[in-house]
């Protein structure tokens, strides 16, 4: 559902941002649009200006330019709405909770102050989605870092935002706490039809969560668009990363009880992964295929332990280090989704690989980049 005051559905906000200015010696120039659905990652190295851009969108700091949110002008040459008049929820790196209130007190605090008051139905949904039921009576001082962030997220949703801004909400947490909270984040945008602008410098988080990506380098937005398009764009540099990977949408079409394998439809081709059960049939999943797990052959291999072979066409071949090449591949079938293979220059020369060649891509390991059920870890199969 869409969070809305007084039970009235509110349209989620997309963003149209064009901001420039200085923060001390640091200059920012950010122009991008964000769709009104899903998770858009604001990605860049530490110190590249992500937080500065996020805070300016929220109106917490002032840069010149415009911020349009859906049909609302949050900022332009003539107007500057203060933060409390922008229909947004903001989740910081460290959850800033009211220490003197219980978990329940923190949750309803924001809702009480919002125009429609407390929406009991939404409160119950938030408690369920974020598994906050058992924590409600607890003092916030007794919560773990992950639990505190879940409360902070719940409190932000209950203020009826039309857009959520999250600034590295997992950065203060250890691996275990991150793994605990990621499944909640995965379901958040969909469950509440709430678009999320998500700041992170962790590509692993982004591969799991983001639908779209905005790249920030030295204060400038250098590219933006759908996640997989960016991950497989030869010009953007992800493809040369040692763990370069593509993230592709697939649908679970079956489950083999005897082998424990889920069958997925990927662009009309079939992929098998370690499955969790028949309950997943019909669900959308994202598959992560790392370039170094993909090998190429002119003929399909029959006597091999590799389970997944895909029909592909070579789109481009680019250098990726001294001995290796990144081969950009398009999947046969509707949509022509792209992924990469990392091969040695020697193998590429032996097979005389060239753009336009039709080949078989053998995938040594495919993993689900989303958790099938809350708390479940990434699955993979060979
Ligand atoms: N108020 C300010 N005055 C002066 N410099 C600032 C101010 N705010 C930010 N900066 C500088 O702007 C640069 C970008 O900082 P910012 O926090 O936006 O980057 P970031 O990409 O979010 O980094 P991180 O991932 O480490 O949080 C840094 O060099 C920072 O020191």
ipTM of the complex: 0.93
Residue 48 Cβ inside 6 Å of ligand 1? The answer reads yes
- The architecture that CATH gives domain 15-240 is 3-Layer(aba) Sandwich (3.40)
Tell me how far the alpha carbon of residue 50 lies from the centroid of ligand 1, in angstroms. Answer: 8
Residues of the chain with CATH 2.40.50.100: 245-372
The secondary structure of residue 303, as a DSSP letter, is S
Residue 51 Cβ inside 6 Å of ligand 1? The answer reads yes
Residue 46 Cβ inside 6 Å of ligand 1? The answer reads yes
Please report, in tens digits, the pLDDT of each residue of the chain (382 residues total).
444 444 444 678 899 999 999 988 999 999 999 999 999 999 999 999 999 999 999 999 999 999 999 889 999 989 999 999 999 999 998 888 999 999 999 998 877 766 677 788 889 999 998 999 999 999 999 999 889 999 999 999 998 899 999 999 998 888 888 888 888 888 887 788 889 999 999 999 999 999 999 999 999 999 999 999 999 998 888 888 889 999 999 999 999 999 999 999 999 999 999 988 899 899 999 999 999 999 999 998 888 888 999 999 999 999 988 999 999 999 998 888 999 999 999 999 999 999 999 999 999 878 777 654 333 333 344 5
CB within 8 A of 123, min separation 6: which ones? 107, 108, 111, 158
Residues of the chain with CATH 3.40.50.300: 15-240
Whole-number Å distance between alpha carbons of 153 and 352: 53
Ligand 1: residue whose CA is nearest its atom 2: 23
CB 326, CB 317: distance < 8 Å: yes
Residue 50 Cβ inside 6 Å of ligand 1? The answer reads yes
- The architecture that CATH gives domain 245-372 is Beta Barrel (2.40)
Residue 7 Cβ inside 6 Å of ligand 1? The answer reads no
Write down the pTM of the prediction. 0.88
Residue 201 Cβ inside 6 Å of ligand 1? The answer reads yes
**Pairing outcome for strands 294-297 and 284-290:** unpaired
44 CA closest ligand 1 atom index: 21
Q: In 3-state terms, what secondary structure has residue 173?
A: coil
Q: In a mutational test of the pocket of ligand 1, which residue from 47, 62, 197, 199 has the highest number of ligand atoms less than 8 Å from its CB?
A: 47
Ligand 1: residue whose CA is nearest its atom 1: 23
CB 349, CB 367: distance < 8 Å: no
CB 195, CB 35: distance < 8 Å: yes
Residue 22 Cβ inside 6 Å of ligand 1? The answer reads no
């Amino acid at each position: 559902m869409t969070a809305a005051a007084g039970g009235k559905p509110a349209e989620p906000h997309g963003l149209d941002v064009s901001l420039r200015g200085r923060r001390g010696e640091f200059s920012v120039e950010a122009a991008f649009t964000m769709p009104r659905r899903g998770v858009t990652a604001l990605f860049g190295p530490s110190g590249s200006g992500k937080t500065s851009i996020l805070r300016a969108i929220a109106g917490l700091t002032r840069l010149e330019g415009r911020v349009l949110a859906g049909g609302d002008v949050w900022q332009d040459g003539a107007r500057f709405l203060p933060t409390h008049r922008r229909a947004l929820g903001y989740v910081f790196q460290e959850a800033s909770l009211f220490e003197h209130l219980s978990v329940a007190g923190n949750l309803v605090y924001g809702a009480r102050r919002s125009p429609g008051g407390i929406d009991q139905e939404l409160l119950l949904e938030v408690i369920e989605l974020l598994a906050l039921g058992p924590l409600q009576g607890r003092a916030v001082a007794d919560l773990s870092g992950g639990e505190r962030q879940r409360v902070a997220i719940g409190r932000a949703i209950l203020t009826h935002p039309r857009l959520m801004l999250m600034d590295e909400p997992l950065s203060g947490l250890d691996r275990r706490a991150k793994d605990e909270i990621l499944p909640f984040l995965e379901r958040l945008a969909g469950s509440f039809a709430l678009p999320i602008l998500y700041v992170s410098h962790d590509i692993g988080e982004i591969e799991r969560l983001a639908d779209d990506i905005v790249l920030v380098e030295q204060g400038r937005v250098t590219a933006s668009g759908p996640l997989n398009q960016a991950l497989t764009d030869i010009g953007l540099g992800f493809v040369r990363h040692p763990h370069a990977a593509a993230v592709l949408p697939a649908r679970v079409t079956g489950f083999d009880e005897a082998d424990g394998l889920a069958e997925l439809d990927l662009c009309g081709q079939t992929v098998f992964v370690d499955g969790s059960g028949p309950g997943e049939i019909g669900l959308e999943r994202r598959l992560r295929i790392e370039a170094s797990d993909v090998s190429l052959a002119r003929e399909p291999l029959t006597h091999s332990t590799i389970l997944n072979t895909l029909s592909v066409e070579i789109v481009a071949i680019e250098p990726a280090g001294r001995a290796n090449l990144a081969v950009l591949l398009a999947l046969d079938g509707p949509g022509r989704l792209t992924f990469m293979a990392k091969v040695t220059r020697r193998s590429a020369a032996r097979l005389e690989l060239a753009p336009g060649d039709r080949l078989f891509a053998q995938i040594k390991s495919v993993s689900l980049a989303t958790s099938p059920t809350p708390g479940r870890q990434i699955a993979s199969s060979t």
